[in-house]
Amino acid sequence: MNFFRLNTSDCLRVLVAGVCVLLGCLPAFSQGSAGRILGSVTDQSGGVIAGATVTVTDVQRGVTRTLTTDQAGEYLAPDLLPGSYSVRAVATGFKTIERTGLLLQVRQDIRVDLTLQPGEQAQTVTVTEEAPQIETTNATLGGTLSNETINDLPLNGRNYQNLLVLRPGMMIYPGGGGWTQITDGIRPEDNQYIVDGLTNDNPLTGLTIINGPGVAGDAATILPIDGIQELNILENPPAEYGGKPGGVVTVGIKSGTNTIHGTAYAFGRDTAFDARNFFNQAPEPQRQVALEQYGATIGGSIKKDKLFYFLGYEAESYSVAIQTRRSSPKR
């Protein structure tokens, strides 16, 4: 039997090598929730402009990405976090054009075609027209539930899965509970859940892990809706989603921005406001039924335009007394 030993210097070399490998890795974005902005740059006659400089700016975070159009005048900015964007195009002999007010949602492609006018680059043409609501880049069915929808609609238990049935083709399995959403008649375990680019499917049950059914009570793990940016549901997903035949539910988590933002909330139900159970009559003490759900979120920047943070916390506590009644036969 052969043995080998590492002395202190060897261990240090291994540690340094490991750190160098980690630092040398390129950063990767969450593919599951990122979107894309793409399009073409042409002149007034429709001719393509190759070599034009296109700058895509994340307005909320101040992050910019500079691209150059190819020989067909096309550009593509992938792996963009959901949020507000502007697109600016510059080419020699043409006026600068800027498209503002672009709202990029989770897993969305926005096509922004820019037409340059002859003139000096110092002159800027600003276009504020909204992006078309009809999806023109692919034939996938589904849709996005915006952050405003998630926060403004009444939501039982503050569980985002209860909102999925608002999209056409998705419904609760007849006779089922909160974790039996089906897409186009396919079984609930055939749906695929992705949270911020990570697969969120339980390998045993096939259902979601976060907000998944617990042994008793409500969800075993909670994802606060105040921490969700958007939800996206794909009913006939493209080939890149080959794991399951059902719908794909993509959850995008909020991100920090250059300005500090956050929420704090508390919801509750107390026995003092409840009517008595029919079988719990005075003079017996009223049985307790209480629920508390509370939490907070906060996000901001560690280094402006470079590094951001976002934190969220939520907790639940509830007490449910069981009403029993016994009687003995008369003698």
Residue 321 has pLDDT above 80, yes or no: no
Which of 253, 277, 312 terminates a domain? The answer is 253
Phi and psi at residue 48, in whole multiples of 5°? -75, 150
Asked if 150 and 123 sit in the same domain, the reply is: no
SS3 per-residue string spanning 201-219: ECCCCCCECCCCECCCCCE
What pLDDT score was predicted for residue 323? 65
pLDDT band at 3 (very low <50, low <70, confident <90, very high): very low
The candidate with the shortest Cα–Cα distance to 206, out of 242, 243, 234, 236, is 243
Asked if 215 and 239 sit in the same domain, the reply is: yes
Domain annotation covers residue 135:
no
Mean pLDDT confidence for 22-33: 51
33/255 Cα distance (integer angstroms):
12
Which of 92, 127, 162 terminates a domain? The answer is 127
Q: Domain holding 158: CATH number?
A: 2.170.130.10
pLDDT band at 24 (very low <50, low <70, confident <90, very high): low
Domain annotation covers residue 136:
no
- 144-148 CB contacts, 8 Å cutoff, 24+ apart: 144/105, 144/106, 144/107, 144/108, 144/230, 144/231, 144/232, 144/233, 145/230, 145/231, 145/232, 145/233, 146/105, 146/230, 147/228, 147/229, 147/230, 147/254
Instruction: Taking the CA atoms of 45, 48, 52 and 55 in sequence, report the sign of the dihedral they define.
Output: positive
Residue 256 has pLDDT above 80, yes or no: yes
Element (H, E) at 43: strand 35-43
145/165 Cα distance (integer angstroms):
11
Question: How does strand 192-195 pair with strand 74-80?
Answer: unpaired
What pLDDT score was predicted for residue 121? 67
Domain annotation covers residue 212:
yes
The candidate with the shortest Cα–Cα distance to 161, out of 172, 176, 152, 146, is 172
Domain annotation covers residue 211:
yes
4-to-1, 11, 17, 137, 195 alpha-carbon distances in Å: 10, 13, 20, 59, 44
Place of tokens 């697109």: 87
95-109, 159-173, 200-214, 224-238: which range is least confident on average?
200-214
Domain annotation covers residue 156:
yes
Residue 238 has pLDDT above 90, yes or no: no
What pLDDT score was predicted for residue 139? 57
The candidate with the shortest Cα–Cα distance to 231, out of 300, 295, 167, is 167
Percent of the chain exceeding pLDDT 70 equals 78
Which of 127, 157, 183 terminates a domain? The answer is 127
Q: Which domain holds residue 163?
A: 142-253
pLDDT tens profile 209-220: 887 766 555 566
pLDDT tens profile 46-99: 899 999 999 999 998 888 999 999 999 999 999 898 888 999 999 988 889 899
pLDDT band at 186 (very low <50, low <70, confident <90, very high): confident
Q: Domain holding 65: CATH number?
A: 2.60.40.1120
Asked if 249 and 197 sit in the same domain, the reply is: yes
Structure token digits, residue 222: 């909670």
pLDDT band at 311 (very low <50, low <70, confident <90, very high): very high
The number of folded domains in the chain is 3
The candidate with the shortest Cα–Cα distance to 82, out of 66, 65, 61, is 61
Domain annotation covers residue 134:
no
Domain annotation covers residue 52:
yes
What pLDDT score was predicted for residue 87? 94
Asked if 177 and 274 sit in the same domain, the reply is: no
What pLDDT score was predicted for residue 196? 85
183-to-170, 190, 199, 234 alpha-carbon distances in Å: 4, 9, 18, 10
The answer to whether the beta carbons of residues 79 and 252 sit under 8 Å apart is no
Residue 256, helix vs strand vs coil: coil
Asked if 284 and 235 sit in the same domain, the reply is: no
Asked if 152 and 236 sit in the same domain, the reply is: yes
Chain CA centroid to CA 236, Å: 19
Asked if 63 and 84 sit in the same domain, the reply is: yes
pTM score: 0.69
38-52, 130-144, 233-247, 311-325: which range is least confident on average?
130-144
